[in-house]
Chains A and B, each alone.
Chain A
Amino acid sequence: GNSVTQMEGPVTLSEEAFLTINCTYTATGYPSLFWYVQYPGEGLQLLLKATKADDKGSNKGFEATYRKETTSFHLEKGSVQVSDSAVYFCALTFPYGQNFVFGPGTRLSVLP
């Protein structure tokens, strides 16, 4: 079946540090890949997405590149801020598919 694996958290960084959160997937076919962010006590917000191999999604300084050869979609940011503290979810779905498959989430804490 389809699945998403994320690096274990929590991840704790100092402000302005470089961030990488690893995400790998197992899927039959060519899914679309997503990163969602959840701030404390809130719902999920779409952060970025990529729909085909080698696509790069980017938003708010975050980037992720769809790597078919390594089945990965790692999230990166060059300089994190305290306001980036949240839980980050990697997810996949298929075009015209009904359901998302979410990873377990990675909690990021950024210290001033």
Chain B
Amino acid sequence: DGGITQSPKYLFRKEGQNVTLSCEQNLNHDAMYWYRQDPGQGLRLIYYSQIVNDFQKGDIAEGYSVSREKKESFPLTVTSAQKNPTAFYLCASSVKGRETQYFGPGTRLLVL
């Protein structure tokens, strides 16, 4: 089955700790995206990548970092500089040049 997987489903972060959220896709999509969703709100773009070894900041990149070393993988690190990290994080992918984005099941990040 082709799709997007995100892990873990729930993640707990301690003060001052960096945590990494995993996103993997086997759809052979070139483009990948990270969104943040706060309760009762829409999605805000954190980072996106159109091709391996290249990525761009979205609307709310501060306190986050990404890498794109493989086409299939686009991990997101929530750094200690992100002061309000509690949210639901969604990864998506799309065929380059096509509009439709396909989403993973999400990771809920909570702060201890």
To the question of whether A and B form a pair in one complex, the answer is yes
Report Cα–Cα, A94/B99, bound state, in Å.
7
Interface of chain A: mostly helix, strand, loop or mixed: loop
User: What are the interface flags for A23-65 relative to B under an 8 Å C-beta threshold, 1 for contact and 0 otherwise?
Assistant: 0000000001010100001111110010100000000000000
Report Cα–Cα, A94/B100, bound state, in Å.
10
A105 touches B102 (CB 8 A): no
Report the minimum CB–CB distance from B99 to chain A (whole Å).
Answer: 5
A44 touches B90 (CB 8 A): yes
Interface of chain B: mostly helix, strand, loop or mixed: strand
Selected contact of A45 from candidates B42, B45, B103, CB within 8 Å: B103
**B56, CB-defined interface residue at 8 Å:** yes
Chain B residues with CB below 8 A from A102, complex form:
42-43
**B101, CB-defined interface residue at 8 Å:** yes
Report Cα–Cα, A89/B4, bound state, in Å.
20
Chain A residues with CB below 8 A from B90, complex form:
43-44
A104 touches B99 (CB 8 A): no
**Interface residue ranges, B against A (CB under 8 Å):** 4, 6, 31, 33, 40-43, 45, 48, 50, 56, 58, 90, 92, 97, 99-106
**Interface residue ranges, A against B (CB under 8 Å):** 32, 34, 36, 41-46, 49, 51, 89, 93-100, 102-105
**5 tightest A-B contacts by CB?**
A43-B103, A102-B42, A44-B103, A104-B42, A102-B43
Beyond A32-B99, A44-B43, A93-B99: 16 further Cβ-contacts under 8 Å? Answer: A43-B4, A43-B6, A43-B104, A44-B92, A45-B103, A46-B101, A89-B43, A94-B99, A97-B99, A98-B31, A98-B48, A98-B56, A99-B33, A104-B42, A105-B40, A105-B42
